Amino acid sequence: MMSITTTQIGSVSLPSYVFGASGPNCTTLEQLQIVGRSDAAAIMIKTCTLEYREGNPEPRYVEVPLGSINSMGYPNLGYKEYLRIIPILKEFKKPIIASLGVLKASEFPTLIEAFNTADVDFLELNFSCPNLTGKPQIGYDFEMTDSLLKELVPLIKKPFGIKLPPYFDPVHWEQAATIFKKYPIGALVCINSIGNTLIIDPETEQPLIKPKGGFGGLGGDFVKPVALANVRAFSQLLGDKMSIIGVGGIKSGMDAFEFLLCGADAVQIGTQFMKEGPECFGRIDRELAEILKRKGYKSIAEAKGKLKPL
């Protein structure tokens, strides 16, 4: 029997609405197996690069009352190790999503060609990592975004999506949407952390994290209104042309329901996964199911994008 929260991203069916964001607790085989055994709708693999990366110096992730700040620097095992791990994860019989990241745009083709033949269901191209020193975010350079998609899309043989940075201006949403409409993108992931924020400890008179002088990506409650706005804006601009995955400040089924009303086809959990562990996926999805039933919705599709004007 299908769950009331069954959904779809692009052409990939998900058994429920909630899974993990790339980043928290999804780097090693052991961590990924824990996700596989959980109620997460999919197994999201840590954003991988061509080579193994230790990442930025510690402390690089700190929780605060309203969320988190981080400057991780892409710590991961390198793409070849994830290609080895993927067949092991198939035992969990749920969709596997590979997140691909680069230190320079010219590295994308190598990663794409490698994962084209891997047993993954979906590729997430990270156009929005804000934590690499001296590197601009691809997603904020619309000319580069367009030219890169023009180059990469013919190479991609899997359903794919793009992980986006947060946008703050209606013109940026419109410009980005105009580009995205040109390509067969399966999903937009909105949003990555708000980059280059600063949280300090006034007692020690120091920043909370070490890399980049304390500047890092903001997550959790802080970013939820920004994430909701991005989901809503792209949902209105793109209609049903591609799926939208909401990310940012989702701690409960009610948070997930808000993203659903704004047009999200699924949600990813980051900061709350770090705080609560893998139990968060099933809990949030069950809470969402109860809200849908209470409000008389029989499916995700019935409630999707139904935010009412005031």
Q: What is the 3-state secondary structure (H, E, C) of 137-185?
A: CHHHCHHHHHHHHHHHHHHCCCCEEEEECCCCCHHHHHHHHHHHCCCCC
199 contact partners, CB below 8 Å, separation of at least 6: 62, 64, 69, 207, 208, 209, 214
Residues pairing with 98 in the sheet:
45, 123
How many CA atoms within 13 Å lie on the side-chain side of 10?
19
Dist CA 38 CA 143 (whole Å): 40
Catalytic residue among 48, 129, 262, 280: 129
Dist CA 66 CA 39 (whole Å): 25
Within the chain, strands assigned E span 7-9, 12-14, 18-20, 43-48, 61-64, 67-70, 96-100, 122-126, 160-164, 187-190, 194-198, 200-201, 206-207, 215-219, 243-247, 266-269
- The answer to whether residues 22 and 72 touch, using CB atoms and an 8 Å cutoff, is no
- The answer to whether residues 72 and 55 touch, using CB atoms and an 8 Å cutoff, is yes
Residue 29: other Cβ atoms inside 10 A: 14
Whether 129 is catalytic is: yes
- The answer to whether residues 125 and 165 touch, using CB atoms and an 8 Å cutoff, is no
- The answer to whether residues 217 and 64 touch, using CB atoms and an 8 Å cutoff, is no
State whether the Cα torsion 261-263-267-270 is positive or negative. negative
Residues pairing with 269 in the sheet:
20
Give the active site residues.
129
